[in-house]
């Protein structure tokens, strides 16, 4: 199964991960019990997953036709679907301090911020639209909520970091170290603070991008790279553990899920 998205499950064990696939499978992996089970089978490919911090029983997922779906995992039931994009949704993320605020990115070349309290099922209105020249592969709030990192698909992948206080303040950095002939589809995520972003590169490693905010604005640059002999394909999906700093899950096109730890 080709893994399209991964997400740490907010649970009592802290060692469970949701994953989704092009076949529409949504699975739950338990690292402690070494179990892997299908919990949903959607009619469209599922490319993104997210849990709301204030309602851990609810799972949001984005599909290949631009639908954003809310399901209640406690009863195993889909509650509603919103048509928020014209093409597939590549990422979903909630603001850490404003539980009603949601960011999405899409292959329709837009990243959007929504108020989930007021989303209409058809032709919904967003709070903010970021229009890109290429597919928006991801849009994630920083841990403090002060910034938004938007990844664009291109021959040499780029991530643009925006200030949530002033969207005119932003900085673009290339994270794919090697140029190639195909667009990057890697998602870039924040770590456990506002200073680090993680991105897969074509040399089968994980770039760490350092972000700095000061009175003069934003800046970002590649600072280091994580590598492993076990990771033989390009990592393209990431999820930072919500409570264990240093626990990073990632998946690759080889259908493998890897767990990085700080020890």
pLDDT digits (tens, 9 = 90+) for 167-185: 888 888 876 544 444 445 6
| pLDDT given at position 208 | 87
> Who has greater pLDDT, 155 or 26?
26
Residue 60 lies in a domain: yes
Which is nearest to 206 in space by CA: 144, 259, 169? 259
Please enumerate in sequence order all residues whose Cβ is within 8 A of that of 157, keeping only pairs 6 or more positions apart, or say none: 137, 151, 174, 175, 176, 183, 184, 186, 188, 199
Q: Is the pLDDT of residue 155 over 70?
A: no
> Who has greater pLDDT, 249 or 131?
131
Q: The domain containing residue 60 runs over which residues?
A: 42-131
Tokens of 166: 């002033």
Q: What is the CATH number of the domain that holds 98?
A: 2.40.10.480
Mean of pLDDT values over 214-219: 71
Residue 203 lies in a domain: no
Mean pLDDT value across the chain: 82
| pLDDT given at position 70 | 92
Residue 228 lies in a domain: no
| pLDDT given at position 154 | 64
Q: Is the pLDDT of residue 1 over 50?
A: no
| pLDDT given at position 212 | 84
| pLDDT given at position 169 | 83
At 81-119, the pLDDT tens digits run 999 999 999 999 999 999 999 999 999 999 999 999 888
- Round to whole Å and give the CA distance between 87 and 238: 22
> Who has greater pLDDT, 17 or 80?
80
Residue 185 lies in a domain: no
Residue 222 lies in a domain: no
Residue 221 lies in a domain: no
Q: How confident is the model at residue 251 (pLDDT cuts 50, 70, 90)?
A: confident
Residue 54 lies in a domain: yes
At 4-40, the pLDDT tens digits run 565 544 433 457 778 888 888 888 877 777 777 888 8
Mean of pLDDT values over 225-247: 83
Residue 200 lies in a domain: no
| pLDDT given at position 224 | 83
Domain count, the chain: 1
Tokens of 208: 């760490």
| pLDDT given at position 179 | 44
Which is nearest to 88 in space by CA: 36, 147, 131, 48? 48
């Amino acid at each position: 199964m080709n893994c399209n998205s991964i997400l740490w499950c907010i649970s009592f064990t802290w060692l469970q991960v949701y994953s989704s696939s092009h076949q529409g499978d949504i699975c739950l992996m338990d690292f402690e019990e070494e179990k892997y089970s299908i919990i949903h089978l959607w009619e469209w490919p599922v490319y993104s997953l997210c849990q709301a911090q204030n309602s851990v029983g609810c799972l949001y997922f984005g599909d290949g036709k631009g639908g954003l779906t809310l399901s209640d995992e406690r009863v195993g039931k889909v509650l509603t679907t919103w048509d928020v994009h014209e093409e597939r949704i590549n990422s979903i993320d909630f603001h850490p301090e404003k539980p009603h605020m949601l960011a999405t990115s899409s292959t329709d070349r837009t990243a959007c911020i929504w108020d989930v309290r007021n989303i209409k099922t058809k032709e919904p209105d967003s709070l903010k639209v970021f229009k890109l020249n290429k597919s928006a592969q991801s849009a994630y709030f920083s841990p403090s909520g002060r910034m938004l990192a938007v990844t664009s698909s291109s021959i040499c992948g780029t991530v643009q970091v925006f200030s949530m206080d002033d969207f005119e303040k932003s900085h673009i950095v290339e994270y794919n170290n090697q140029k190639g002939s195909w667009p990057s589809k890697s998602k870039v995520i924040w770590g456990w603070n506002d200073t680090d972003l993680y991105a897969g590169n074509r040399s089968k490693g994980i770039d760490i991008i350092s972000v700095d905010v000061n009175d003069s604005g934003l800046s970002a640059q590649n600072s280091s790279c994580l590598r492993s002999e076990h990771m033989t394909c390009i990592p393209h999906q990431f999820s930072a553990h919500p409570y264990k700093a240093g626990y990073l899950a990632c998946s690759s096109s080889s259908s493998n899920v890897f767990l990085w730890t700080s020890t």
